[in-house]
Homo-oligomer: A and B are copies of this chain.
């Protein structure tokens, strides 16, 4: 039924070994022989079975990627960066999620052991981190795309400049004459949250800090709370764009003008940021570049390069729109 290397060998009048050499341009092959083999390959439309090649070579030319969710706004960017890089290198990408908790992790671990892929890219492990570290110690090449500041030490990972991102937001607000900012954070146990806050305060010290949870509601409630308590503030720095959108809504509902009365800066630069009212100034997180870089690191490692033992850091970038000109 399907065309195999044996068919090609027979029709070209050579051995399977020679066909294999032609395909992989490995070892010396007579020019004429090679041409004849290539002609047969073309005529038969022969394509090597990836499964058989993988079995014989002991590697699958596939990398795995584990993500917590596919519906988060910046996940598409990360994924696109990974897929582009991986495909360009001729590798396949096997995608896994772990949204069913223990069961998913179990199934996933099985796939790993089954050698379905040669290396692994991971975003946001949360409860999976121990498993991942374990796999890494067992010899599986792993690179972590860490957007929440939770990577273990000495672990290959890609991060962004959360401290500097927070600082850049503060500098921008300060340059506009804002001196009484409110910070709406994400969950306090996230490393990225602590860093963004520290960076911001380093430039613009403030005690007006409300701990949020990255939801729109938390952004809205934080603003309402301060308004109700009659705390004065002339700017808001929210730790992600979603909660910044909530803050915008609460300010509008309260009749405060943005940016005239209060300037607002978010974090992430998700697609929505340009469609809020007014469009949101925000600290861009380089999601796509993080995906690309992590994939490149993993591929280089598979190619034999040493894994970097300290995180690769990609810069944030302030995107200025009307909410904080």
Contacts and interface: CB of A to CB of B under 8 A. Distances in A.
Contact of A75 (B76, B92, B115): B76
A252 B275 contact: no
A69 interface: yes
9 contacts: A51-B115, A70-B83, A80-B97, A87-B107, A93-B96, A94-B94, A216-B275, A271-B272, A272-B272
Interface of A: 2, 45, 47-52, 54-55, 60, 62, 69-73, 75-77, 79-80, 83-84, 87, 90, 92-97, 99-100, 104, 107, 110-111, 113-116, 216, 245, 252, 271-272, 274-277
A164 B115 CA distance: 47
B50 A52 contact: no
Contact of A97 (B54, B87, B252): B87
Contact of A92 (B71, B77, B94, B272): B94
A90 B83 CA distance: 22
B84 A99 contact: yes
Contact of A70 (B79, B100, B110, B113): B79
A252 B279 CA distance: 13
B97 A83 contact: yes
A273 to B, nearest CB: 10
B55 A114 contact: no
Contacts of A94: 62, 92-95
B84 A80 contact: no
Nearest to A113: B47
Q: Which 4 A-B pairs have the closest CB atoms?
A: A47-B113, A277-B277, A50-B114, A71-B76
A219 to B, nearest CB: 11
B114 A47 contact: yes
Given A87-B107, A271-B73, A95 B93 contact: yes
A49 B275 contact: no
A284 to B, nearest CB: 14
Contacts of A84: 97, 99
Contacts of A72: 76
A237 B54 CA distance: 53
A67 to B, nearest CB: 9
A231 to B, nearest CB: 25
